[in-house]
Amino acid sequence: MRFHILTIFPGIFDSYLDESLFKRAQKKHIVSVRTYDLRSFTNDKHKKVDDRPFGGGPGMVIKVQPVWDAIKKLKRGTLKKGKSRVILFSTRGKVLDAAIARRLARYDNLVLICGRYEGVDERVATHIADEELSIGDYVLSGGEIPALVLMEAVSRHVPGFLGKEESLEEVNGSFPTYTRPDIFIPAKGKKWNVPPVLLSGDHKKIAEWRKGLRNDEK
């Protein structure tokens, strides 16, 4: 799985991607992440990638030209390898969920366009992106955090990323977990106990307990 991120702030991704699962997955060539500074593709001599919106209004808008030139370069090169999908993050997009993450995990290349300011020229959504996605009913300052959310949600479905399929909550469901000590005393007269069934050693009963919790949630 290869992620290609178009952004004006490529440094935002460095610390997150250099830790934990993403660091290991990149080292083992399970996933690949490349960031592209949109300023490298602008034809403006001052390296501007934004301009005022037609019709008036506050703020600035990311121009279509640098996005188009970046996509053209990718299509001439690395996107030739396998199936590709171009995604624009937008408050008007479909909300990312597990089904979308599973679908996107079937692609070889995901190009993630991160807007800023007041958004991206609508011609990017109309003529360049294959789909628009959102991560919730709220507004962020840019598409970088949504890009990180999408990469993690998708990568969990890439074989080898988690190490064990059993780690997928999508497979086994979500249930309360506990660890040592079995009795925690936060203050005098208080005890926080682990459910006795988890201390029983009876794996059948434990599985039934967890299944019962999942059924209650439904």
Report the candidate in 129, 93, 89 with the shortest Cα–Cα distance to residue 7: 89
Please state, in angstroms and rounded to a whole number, the distance separating the CA atoms of residues 64 and 121.
Answer: 6
- Do 157 and 186 belong together in one domain? no
Residues 6+ apart with CB under 8 A from 213: 175, 176
Mean residue pLDDT across the chain: 92
- Do 115 and 61 belong together in one domain? yes
pTM: 0.87
Flag whether pLDDT at 173 surpasses 80: no
Per-residue exposure over 56-95, b if at least 16 CB sit within 10 Å of its own CB, e if not: eeeebbbbbbbbbebbeebeeebbeeeebbbbbbbeebee
Q: Can you give the pLDDT at residue 212?
A: 85
- Do 178 and 206 belong together in one domain? yes
The model's confidence at residue 118, banded by pLDDT at 50, 70 and 90, is confident
Quote the number of domains for the chain: 2
% residues pLDDT > 90 (the chain): 82
- Do 70 and 151 belong together in one domain? yes
Flag whether pLDDT at 217 surpasses 70: no
Task: Output the DSSP codes for 54-104.
Answer: TT--SS-EE-HHHHHHHHHHHHHTGGGSS-EEEEEEEEEEEEP-HHHHHHH
pLDDT digits (tens, 9 = 90+) for 27-65: 999 999 999 999 999 998 999 999 999 998 888 999 999
- Do 189 and 81 belong together in one domain? no
The model's confidence at residue 171, banded by pLDDT at 50, 70 and 90, is low
**Distance from chain centroid for Cα 162:** 15
Flag whether pLDDT at 218 surpasses 60: no
Compute and round to an integer the Cα radius of gyration of the chain: 22
- Do 137 and 107 belong together in one domain? yes
- Do 107 and 204 belong together in one domain? no
Please state, in angstroms and rounded to a whole number, the distance separating the CA atoms of residues 25 and 20.
Answer: 9
Q: Which domain holds residue 181?
A: 173-217
- Do 80 and 129 belong together in one domain? yes
- Do 121 and 201 belong together in one domain? no
**What CATH number corresponds to the domain at position 185?**
1.10.1270
- Do 33 and 121 belong together in one domain? yes
Strand partners, 50: 62
Q: Can you give the pLDDT at residue 176?
A: 87
Report the candidate in 150, 162, 149 with the shortest Cα–Cα distance to residue 25: 162
pLDDT digits (tens, 9 = 90+) for 133-157: 999 999 999 999 999 999 999 999 9
- Do 99 and 199 belong together in one domain? no
CA angle 162, 25, 116 (to 5 degrees): 100
- Do 121 and 180 belong together in one domain? no
Contact call for residues 53 and 98 (beta carbons, < 8 A)? no
Please state, in angstroms and rounded to a whole number, the distance separating the CA atoms of residues 44 and 24.
Answer: 38
**What CATH number corresponds to the domain at position 54?**
3.40.1280.10
Last residue of a domain, one of 134, 149, 165: 165
Q: Can you give the pLDDT at residue 15?
A: 95
